Structure formats: C-alpha cells, structure tokens
Structure 1
Amino acid sequence: MSIKFKKFIPRPGLVNKQGRLPDPSELVCIEVPKVFDQCLIKRCLTYGAGPDTDTTDCELRSNPLINPKRYISSRNFKITLIDVDKIPIGNSPGFKKIILNYLITFYADFIDYDGLTRSEFFEINRTDIIGKFYCPDSVSQATTSLDDDLCDNNLIKLEMVADVLRGDLLTDKNGDEVLDITLGYYIVVKCELLVQLLIPAYDYCPNIRIACEDEPEEDPCEVFEKAPVPKFYPDQNLEPLFPDCDSSDDNDLN
C-alpha cells in the first residue's frame, strides 16, 4: 500500500520497496535526447607505418625524444567527433550507413636520464564505418529564437573509455629515440533524437536546507595516532587442510 503524499518527501533515491510510493502529483511533458540505437567499437591499436587499419595507426609513434629512460603512464584521454556522414539504406527505412571521423588525444609521460618527468602529446585521427545503424530522421522540424536555421534534432554521440596498454621506447630507422604506444579503447556510438516524453512527476525537487560543510584541517600527527596499526605481512594464499564438513561427516562422528 502506498503512503500518503503528505508523508512523502520527494527526493532522489533508490526505489527499494515496490508499492511504497504515492501516486504522482502530475504528468509532465519533458524534452530530452532519447537513444534510438547504439553499438560498440572496440579497438586495440599499435604503431604501423602506412594507411591505418583496424589494428594499426601511424600516429601512435611520438616525435623524436631527448634522452628518454622509461615510460610511466598516459592521461587526459579525450575524444572529439569531427564529422559524420549518414547514408540512407534504400530497403531499410530509418537505417543508415554511418561514417565516423573522430580524434582521440592524450598525454604520455616518461622519465628522462636527468630524472625529469616529460610529456608527449598524441593526436590519433580515426575513421570507422558502421554498416547498418538505426538512426531515423525526425518527423518534425524545429527552430529556435536564437537562430533562424532549422535545428538538426538527430544527433550522433560518442562515449569512450581508453587506456594505453603498453609504451615502448625504441630507436627508429633514423636513429632517433621514440615512444611507440599500444592503445586500447571502447567507444559507444549512440543515435539520439530530441523527443517529448510524458512522465509521472511529484513536484520540483525540494530546496536543499543543509549547508555545505568545510573540511577541517587536522594535525597529521593526530591522524597518525588515531589510525589503526597496519598489517606487517601480506595475506597468505593458503588452501584449507580439510574439505568442508557435511551432514555425512557429522553422522560418521556420531
């Protein structure tokens, strides 16, 4: 049985008990991007001279470095969608062939023989083709008061998780020391269309009455004194000496 609305405080949270929410106060119409289709691009790329392939990229080699000693790690991965071509598929309404041109950038850090940490900036230009992707055109056309041109409600969105799997310092054919990168990444390609959705709502979110708190500075020695004594040895990787007891074992003992 749902509780009465007067006893309900609308706020974000987990719905952990079914049937305990009151009836919504209204149905509202909101305008949001809705995902119509999505797919995954998974790549593991190494350096390779010549045209790019599904496994190689000519931009995964750095410029000549000065006295590099050891590769450390990479950071600040970003993806930028450069342009999109959407080619309709004649016998499949709403489906299109998608040609994506995007740019992945990141920094690779290494240590030189003077003990200094240096960074090399990488820009990886890629093109991927999705043979069949459901990306229907909007039936209605929209415009805004800020621009007289019609707005394109159909959006292609990219979301990426990337990491450098390996960094190799080596000498190229010209005798220069360079850094070769092995890059692994996942990209979720989404087709979004701006639509109006009807959803149940309770009210506006309540005003926050709790003041923001400042984190007090603590004396590091006091923090040290309060901390538990650390383990001096790692956990042992041991197997049980005897199998787990079951009912038959208990009967045998009796």
Structure 2
Amino acid sequence: MPEKVMPGPVPDTAGIREAVCIHTKKIYDSCKDKDCIEDLRFYPAQNCQAVIDRAVSIKAGKAELIYVYIDVEPIGFNRGFYTVDVRYYYKVTADAFVGAARPVEVCGLCVFDKRVILFGSEGSAKVFTSDARHGGEEESADRANLPTAVVEAVDPIVLNMKLVDVCECRPCDCELTELPPCVCACFGCDLCFGSDGKRIYVTLGQFSIVRLERDAQLLMPVYDYCMPEKECTCGVGEDDPCEIFRHVKFPVNEFFPPNSPAPIPDNCRDLKSCCG
C-alpha cells in the first residue's frame, strides 16, 4: 500500500481486502487556511471600559473561539460553486496596566468575517427523515439542494494587541448592532460598543478547515484521515506578526483524534484507580 493515498481511482495493487457500503456526507471540496487577522476591534464588557480608559499599556492574554455563524449561497454565474460566509466570534482577555498598580484583567469580544468559494456540486432531491422536527419539514426540503458547509477551527493565537486613543481609531470601524444570544451569554454583562474612550485592537492567528458536503451512498475502502491540500484563496498582510504566524505549523492533531489508544500498563499497580 502506498504511504499516502489521495482521493481518486485506486489501483489494483492497493491491497484492498474489503469494501463497505455507507451513507455519509461526501466532501466535494475543502480548503485549509492560516488567517492572520489584523487589528480587530475589541468590544469590552461595560465594567472593563473604565479600566481601559485609565490604562497606560496593555498586555495580550488569550483568545477563545465561542461561536461561528455560517451561510452558504450558490454562485449564479458558475454552477456547482458556492460562497461560504463565515463569521467568527472570539472572547479575548488582556491585562491592562493602570499606573504602578497590578494589572487588571479585561475581557471583550472580537469578530472576524471570512469568505471562501468552494465546489459543492448540484442536487435537486428533497430529503425527509423520521427525526425531522414538526414544523421544520418545509424549510429542510427547500434547502435540501444546498450542500452543507462545515467549519472546523481551533482557538486562535493572540499575535499582537494595541491600546489607542479615539483619535487614532480606524475609520473603517463598524459598530455591531446584533449578537447571537449564545455569544452574549458568554460575558455575563452587556458589551460596550460606543466610540468614546480608548480602544484595543487585536491581531489573531486562526487555523481553520472549511468544506462542503452532501449526503451520498458510497462503496469505499478506508485508509486514513483526509487532509485538504489546497490553501483557501484569501490574502493576508505583510506585517511582522503575520510573517511570524506564516511559519507556524498547521496543528493537524487538533482536528483529528489519534488512531490508536494509549498503551495499557502490564502491572495493575501502575494504575492508580485499579487496585484498592
């Protein structure tokens, strides 16, 4: 068997012993990406804005991906291709230094929008299943011809953080008007979207995989996990934080579990919970 098997025709010398028929999501197209997201507006919790206004410097903390919104739309001039619009919601923490006192932790929200174009084939079948909820059949049937978009992502890396005065703020800043309830619940209080006071801008490094899937019945052998080779078509800046992020290896193990379990000790005494 070759060291690496790619999707496509399999030669007779592949050593396949068994073929199985499965009903699954067939991946029609996918891409992986390393996004260097520069100068994202940081929307602090309301009880943190006063601390930020008095801060003289800021130290980067950590970022947590808390929610992803996904929308799929067909491209009219290119049949079989779709735009996948993704909005990432991050909970970001930082240490604000106020005078000579100990740093105060502040937290807030950052939002990043991303669009990719992938091939998802065409389909016109209306799919009905026994587990469809009452009242949702019509919506499920109407959108059955669209492929399913899946976004896999890990928590981003905080590459840089800036504390700026209002006069130095970016003119392209846009105010958020509505947030998903699950995002609001992550902060426990209202967020500050106003334009007064100092602001924080964050640069994040995000690893992600985006793919389009459709239901299919397949006769297939199983070799290994399928890792996309194509890079997502989007540009990034040339600043130093992004240049550093480009050299970070893609964390394959974060997306796929190990193939074999951990070794079991030969002696029962090696297991703390085994013997009383």
TM-score when scaled to structure 2? 0.50
Q: CA deviation at 1:29?
A: 1.8
Give yes or no for contact 1:70–1:112 (8 Å, CA) kept in 2: yes
Q: CA deviation at 1:177?
A: 4.1
Residues 214 and 100 (structure 1 numbering): CA distance in 2 closer, same or farther, change over 3 Å?
Answer: same
Give yes or no for contact 2:61–2:95 (8 Å, CA) kept in 1: no
Other-structure match for 2:65: 78
Q: CA deviation at 1:23?
A: 6.8
- 2:25 counterpart of 1:33: yes
Unaligned runs of 5+ residues in structure 2 are 5-13, 168-194, 223-261
Percentage of matched positions with identical amino acids: 16
Q: CA deviation at 1:61?
A: 5.8
Q: CA deviation at 1:135?
A: 1.3
In 1, the alpha carbon distance for the partners of 2:69 and 2:16 equals 46
Residues 176 and 215 (structure 1 numbering): CA distance in 2 closer, same or farther, change over 3 Å?
Answer: farther
In 2, the alpha carbon distance for the partners of 1:156 and 1:38 equals 10
Q: CA deviation at 1:181?
A: 1.5
Q: CA deviation at 1:172?
A: 3.1
Q: Which amino acid aligns with 2:219?
A: L
- 2:104 counterpart of 1:122: no
Give yes or no for contact 1:65–1:178 (8 Å, CA) kept in 2: no
Other-structure match for 2:37: 44
Other-structure match for 1:94: 80
Greater RCO (Cα-Cα under 8 Å, separation 6 or more): 2
Higher Cα radius of gyration: 1
Matches within 5 A, 1:104-183: 104-113=89-98, 114-126=101-113, 128-130=114-116, 132-138=117-123, 140-147=125-132, 149=137, 150=140, 152=144, 154-161=147-154, 162-173=156-167, 176-183=197-204
Q: Which amino acid aligns with 2:24?
A: V
Q: CA deviation at 1:111?
A: 4.4
SS in 2 for 1:64: helix
TM-score when scaled to structure 1? 0.53
Residues 22 and 183 (structure 1 numbering): CA distance in 2 closer, same or farther, change over 3 Å?
Answer: closer
What's the C-alpha RMSD, in Å, of the aligned pairs?
4.4
Higher helix share: 2
Q: Which amino acid aligns with 2:42?
A: L
Q: How many residues align?
A: 184
- 2:47 counterpart of 1:60: no
